[in-house]
Amino acid sequence: MERLAGVVVAVGVALAASAGATCPEQDALLRVGTRHYCAEDLAPDPDRAVAGHVWEAVRADVVAREGIAVTDEDVRAFHEAHETLAARGREEQKAQRRRLEAELAAPDVDPAERKRAEQQLATLEQIAASDRQLERDLAQLKAEERERFDEGQRKMAEHFVLGWKIDRALYARHGGVVIFQQANPFEPVGAYRAELEAHEQAGTFAILDPELRQGFWHYYTDMGHNEIPADAEDFAVPWWLRAVDSPTSD
């Protein structure tokens, strides 16, 4: 749900910024429910704001309709998977550093290959240094700071878990094309389209500006995506738990 990942973060800000504003219906570029949005309500990024307002309403309807909830167990499992994957990543980086160091220690290394290996090694060392600094920073947090950090981590987990549960519900209802995105390896874009079309037809929202409407639907209709083969689509298990069970590259 890469598109949603960025959208949801901006939704609260967008809604708060436009709270209390009055937009004459004849000037509106977007209607969601009974609320109208003019150009100033959607500034400075109208495309992002339109997607945010539309999806806020649609997601709320899906959550209520499907009875979706995020539990403490969901959050715990997400954090455990995250820690497992992070530890695995650190071990893979250590192994890669060892391979690069051995490559550089070999006699008669091609100059171009030496430069490539040195650059990769420098990047890995920067990542490791950043990780160590983060550990030091976390260890030095005061109690209130740590509490705020932990709350932020929990909200992040809740966001991903809720997104996956919405995806699972929409895919079960609509099926359709599933694609790979960096922030969501199993994004049911076909189900998104079907759900959005149903809400538009039902009057949940109306994008009244033709250019904004075309831009909104482009992602779901003709953008072109990296589709996942039908036999690989599986919403029975969250993608982060599937990643934990996947074999490493070594």
Residue-wise DSSP of 6-57: HHHHHHHHHHHHHTT----GGG-SEEETTEEE-HHHHTT-HHHHHHHHHHHH
User: What per-residue confidence (pLDDT) applies to 246?
Assistant: 76
Range of the domain at 96: 72-156
Same domain, 61 and 174: yes
The CA distance from 203 to 108, in Å, is 70
**Are 128 and 96 found together in one domain?**
yes
The answer to whether residue 24 sits within a structural domain is yes
pLDDT of residue 8: 40
pLDDT of the residue at 232: 67
Does residue 101 share a domain with residue 88?
A: yes
Domain boundary (99, 129, 156) is at 156
How many domains does the chain divide into? 2
Predicted TM-score (pTM) above 0.75: yes
User: Each residue's pLDDT tens digit in the chain (250 positions)?
Assistant: 444 434 443 444 344 344 445 799 999 999 999 999 999 999 999 999 999 999 999 999 999 999 999 999 999 999 999 999 999 999 999 999 999 999 999 988 999 999 999 999 999 999 999 999 999 999 999 999 999 999 999 999 999 999 999 999 999 999 999 998 888 889 999 999 999 999 999 999 999 999 999 999 999 988 777 888 876 667 889 999 988 887 655 4
Domain shared by 14 and 134, yes or no: no
Q: What is the pLDDT of residue 182?
A: 84
What is the pLDDT, as a whole number, of residue 230?
74
Task: Classify residue 250: in a domain, yes or no.
Answer: no
Of 156, 174, 196, the residue that ends a domain is 156
Q: Which of 98, 129, 156 is the last residue of a domain?
A: 156
**Contact 32/54 with Cβ under 8 angstroms?**
yes
- Is residue 200 in some structural domain? yes
Q: Does one domain contain both 121 and 196?
A: no
Determine the pLDDT at residue 152: 96
pLDDT at 231: 67
* Residues β-bridged to residue 206: 31
